[in-house]
Copies of this chain bind each other. A is one copy, B any other.
Amino acid sequence: MKTILSRRHFLNLVGAAGGSTAVYKTSMALGLMQESGPMAKLDLQDVSGRRKTIAILGAGLSGLTIAYELERAGYDVTIIEASHRIGGRVLTVRHGDTVDEMGQSQVCNFDDDPNLYFNAGPARIPGHHRRVLHYCKTLDVPLIVKANMSRPAYTYEENQFGNKPQRVSQYLSDARGFLSELLHKAVDKNIFDRPMSAEDLERMRLFAKSYGDLDDGGKYNGSLRAGYKKDGFVRPEVLHDPMSFDDLLNSRFWERGLAASENPDWGEPLMEIPGGMDGLIKAFVQNVKSPIKLNAQVQAVTLQNDGVDITFNRKGKREKLSVDYCFNSIPSHFMNAIHNNLPAEYMRGLNALKPGHGYKLGLQMKERFWEREGIYGGMTFTDQRIGQIWYPSTGIHSQKGVVLGAYQFFDPSGFFERMTPTERIEYAANCGDKIHKEYSKYIESGVSVAWGRMNYMMGCGAQWPGDSRERFYKMLQQPASGRHYMIGDQISYHPSWQEGAIGSAEVALLDLDERVRAANKVTANG
């Protein structure tokens, strides 16, 4: 009689040996608990002993994901990275780090303090980014809640509101108030296309009153939601006067920031990795044993009948690698300059994809002056070219902090790219002075990342102009000749987000696995 070890019994044994965390992890492994997302469902066939070789071009998040998963399925993996570092656009800059910008490299002069850092790439993780969260969980990467929208922070627009920054809470509250007042009026005038019962109309009035904090007559007279004008703790609360509806409409905060936290990717709560977003990269590196060849620039990608040849320069020498499959996260706009025999339509697709030009600036502030204004994390919005100011969610009440002094998703005119690093700091300092008193005096040092000028990347967050995504996306998700996969956030519906990068890896891994399983069947039957 065979001894059958039931899953439950096995778990009891694990519990006795390793405690509840061991039970938990083993339960996950045995599939007894709900999955943590798409990546947990990967079930790659093990190819150990069959010497399947893999080249991964680019040691960013998509490449590391491929390496991690294929290593575990018995593949023989080599990673080739053009730059001096691992992580790609997942970049946390700290004291002493070099920012490898074309023609003007910077060294970060922040204090040598693990709490003073700047996430130049991804900085936020929402709860529905299941793939990123899966790896944070699997690789024991800690997560904390990050403030994103902040009601006490400001919106500042030149030539609006008397050139004075307005608290976000004031704008949000007044916008709701005026909108609700109009709804209330619309109900009174019964402008609806269909007949409404008296009860329906009354319910809508109540809804409007609640939504906008209106008085019983349906008027908005300001609201405590705009924040306390004066202390409401030991004396009666005093309300702010509402903005005028004209001022509110003249301002463009309603298109700039009013809906910011309505986007699911920016909606509360968000998370971040304490100590810097490259914590996930570090965790991958600890768990990937495959060689990662740094400073290795790919020169040629050649499809062969039964694999792919990769030629690259490294330390002045040309090296060649022949593999069964290649996973390529090189920015699409570089592929023209790399010798290749990829199909013409495939190259047309890669050429259609345009690099984005994101820009971020980190400023070390000698005091956390924003906390004295009641701001604890989150962001200020402005129509100045710096776009936003982010206040750190961590290190509350410590002496110093790193503020994101500028954030442009797109800088197509190269406005910041053309500046020197010092000019960028000065520009941001002047903008900041219009929002915070003596902002510029608090700046101790700054470091900027203009992704469009970063060596070996020259761009970020790929753009799909016109109908290019409809034309090429599905094809680019498929491997050229069944051997060469394009990956990276560029091959996703979420460029510039980590979830897009890992998603592209998921699609490629599933496709590879299907091909390998199919080939095995043929071999077994043949």
Task: Enumerate chain A interface residues (CB-CB to B < 8 A).
Answer: 20-21, 24, 33-36, 38, 127-128, 130-131, 133, 136-137, 142-152, 169, 172-173, 175-176, 179-180, 182-183, 185-186, 189, 191, 200, 203-204, 206-207, 210-211, 213, 223-225, 227-228, 231-237, 249-250, 254-255, 258-259, 261-264, 267-269, 271, 367, 369, 371-372, 374-378, 393-394, 396-400, 477, 492-494, 497, 499-500, 503-504, 506-507
The CA of A16 and the CA of B41, in the complex, are separated in Å by 57
Distance, CA A206 to CA B18, complexed state (A): 59
The chain B residue sitting closest to A34, CB to CB, is B372
Protomer copies: 2
Assuming the contacts A34-B372, A185-B191, A396-B142, asked whether A254 and B21 have C-beta atoms less than 8 A apart, the reply is no
Q: In the bound complex, what is the Cα–Cα distance between A234 and B211 (angstroms)?
A: 36
Interchain nearest-CB distance for A328 vs B (Å): 17
Q: Is the CB of A234 within 8 A of B393?
A: no
A127-B374, A210-B259 given; A233·B203 CB < 8 A: no
Whether A249 contacts B506 in the complex (CB less than 8 A), given A169-B267, A237-B493, A377-B269, comes out as no
Contacts of A143 in B (CB 8 A): 376, 396-397
A-B contact pairs, 14 of them (CB 8 A): A24-B367, A131-B233, A145-B145, A145-B376, A148-B268, A172-B262, A182-B191, A191-B191, A200-B249, A224-B264, A234-B477, A234-B493, A234-B504, A236-B493
Known: A145-B376, A185-B191. 19 other contacts (CB 8 A): A20-B400, A21-B398, A21-B399, A33-B367, A35-B372, A127-B371, A142-B397, A144-B145, A145-B147, A150-B269, A151-B268, A186-B191, A189-B189, A191-B191, A225-B264, A231-B503, A234-B477, A271-B376, A271-B396
User: CA–CA, A207 to B235, complex, Å?
Assistant: 37
Q: How far is the CB of A196 from chain B (nearest CB, A)?
A: 10
CA distance A348 to B6 in the complex (A): 70
The reply to whether A232 and B186 contact each other, CB–CB distance below 8 Å, is no
